[in-house]
Amino acid sequence: MSEAKKFTQEELDQITKLRDANALKISEFGQVELEVLLAEQRLDALEKAKNSLKANYIELQTTEQDLVRTLNEKYGAGQVDLSSGMFIPVK
């Protein structure tokens, strides 16, 4: 069996420096992964909000079309002056 040998202080410093650098990189990789996860969660939340807004917008369009149809049936074709509340028929 070989005899145990002691590293020099310089060698120990190099080993320690490499070990610390590795630990730092592993920690940085973890931080990057966490940031990616948080960004993905934010993107998911934004996608859900966008889909909800789209659905609301489609509902508003349908409501608007229904109102226009109802008003056209009641008053005929024309325009609305919102400031006076008057209906102006098309000539």
Q: Summarize pLDDT for 53-80 with one digit per residue, the tens.
A: 999 999 999 999 999 999 999 999 999 9
Question: Are residues 78 and 89 in contact, defined by beta-carbon separation less than 8 angstroms?
Answer: yes
Report if residue 1 sits inside a domain.
Answer: no
Please compute the mean of the pLDDT values over residues 1-24 and round it to a whole number: 95
Structure tokens at 39: 């960004």
Residue 38 included in any domain:
yes
Q: DSSP class of residue 49?
A: H
The number of domains in the chain is: 1
| Residue 90: per-residue pLDDT | 85
Residue 28 lies in a domain: yes
Question: What's the pLDDT at 2?
Answer: 83
Q: Which amino acid is at 40?
A: E
Residue 3 forms part of a structural domain: no
Which position has the token pair 């508003």?
A: 60
In a domain, 2, yes or no: no
What pTM was computed for the model?
A: 0.64
Is the model more confident about 91 or about 37?
37
Could you give the dihedral angle defined by the CA atoms of residues 59, 65, 68 and 72, in that order, rounded to the nearest 10 degrees? Answer: -150
Nearest to 89 by CA among 78, 73, 75: 78
Domain that holds residue 31: 9-89
